[in-house]
Amino acid sequence: MISTYCLNPCFDQTVEVDSFRLGAANRITRSRMDPGGKGVNVARVLSMLGVETCCVLVLPEKGADEYLENLQLEGMELKSIRTPGSVRRNTKIRSMDTGLVTELNEAGVPLTTWAAGEVREEAKKRKDTSAVHVLSGSLPPFANPAYYYNLIQDLSPAPVFLDTSGRALMEGIKARPMFVKPNLAELQTAVGRELKGLKEVKAAAEDLVRSGISYVCVSMGPEGAVLVTEAGAYHAPAVELEKGNGSTVGAGDALVAGMIYGYLKGEGPEESLRCGVAAASASCMTEGTQMARREDYESVYPRVEIRKI
């Protein structure tokens, strides 16, 4: 069993326009709505890969039934902690002429003291029965920036994968989770300097490994991903995909899920990175914020290259 935690779930509305223009009327040519939130997305991909997964989520009451109904066929177990308010909605605007996606994300409802405590109690119950715990996504408004730090402490010494940003990341890494997945901008913030090229990214990630974090995976968009561990550093270039209606939204969540899948196979960091990049690439082949499909994952997996750096 894998447990993921999602404190700020959302509905993701993805709309397409022929050519997005600021300050002008933009006609929508296609639209879809998907349940989202990083912890939920990770659980969806793990379930697709055949891993038994439960997502613990703080779910606002208004929109909760619709949200859960849309996840019924995804295969994961859901443990919802209800809170007042409405499920937030995020809008992704894809301009078809450039392929660029503009995101308009609501902040979500504040995390109540009661809900914050319930998540920590649920995590403690799952501490010894889950092979991995995944803390993923932004914290809701007014949440303690050290919330993930405290949750990692609650779960110690269980393996924890952390994927967040801003102050939540800066505080969380102090608790020394087993795995962190910053993107390039987040890693630059964490180490306090600009990073140019793979060697500088590797060196910065090595700083975090020396601090006690076993796996540091840096997602770099079109430059692929870098994984640094005590055993070595590896680079996976981005897999070239056919252009279509796919979206990169959620690729980072799929990367985390694939890394966990590889880790569970017990075949070392190179296999973890290969599985992660395959899952991330497969997620880029689906429309909106749908997650990776098994057939796409299996078709991409043999094409992932791993290079030691």
Collapse the DSSP code of 104 into the 3-class scheme (helix H, G, I; strand E, B; otherwise coil) and give the result: strand
Q: Which residues lie below 8 Å from residue 270, measured CB to CB, with a gap of 6+?
A: 234, 306
Residue 253 among the catalytic residues? yes
At 289 the pLDDT is 61
Write down the catalytic residue from 12, 163, 253, 296. Answer: 253
Q: Which two tokens stand for residue 173?
A: 């890494």
Residue 109: pLDDT over 70: yes
Evaluate whether 13 touches 90 at the Cβ level (below 8 Å): yes
At 244 the pLDDT is 55
Within 10 angstroms of residue 83's Cβ, the number of other Cβ atoms is: 20
Query: Could you tell me the domains of the chain?
Result: 2-308 (3.40.1190.20)
C-alpha distances out from residue 130 to 76, 83, 125, 159, 160, Å = 14, 25, 10, 9, 10
DSSP string, 35-48: EE-HHHHHHHHHHH
Residue identified by tokens 């990770």 is 42
pLDDT-derived band at 154, boundaries 50, 70, 90: very high
Evaluate whether 285 touches 293 at the Cβ level (below 8 Å): yes
pLDDT in tens, 193-226: 999 999 999 999 999 999 999 999 999 988 999 9
pLDDT-derived band at 254, boundaries 50, 70, 90: very high
Within 10 angstroms of residue 84's Cβ, the number of other Cβ atoms is: 11
Q: Which two tokens stand for residue 279?
A: 């899952």
Collapse the DSSP code of 111 into the 3-class scheme (helix H, G, I; strand E, B; otherwise coil) and give the result: coil
Kindly give the residue spans of alpha helices, DSSP state H, lying in 99-250: 113-126, 147-155, 166-172, 184-191, 197-210
At 183 the pLDDT is 94
Measuring CA to CA, which residue among 41, 18, 56 is closest to residue 280?
41
Q: What is the mean pLDDT of residues 179-201?
A: 93
The pTM of this model reads: 0.92
pLDDT in tens, 279-298: 999 988 876 566 788 999 99
pLDDT in tens, 11-29: 999 999 999 999 999 999 9
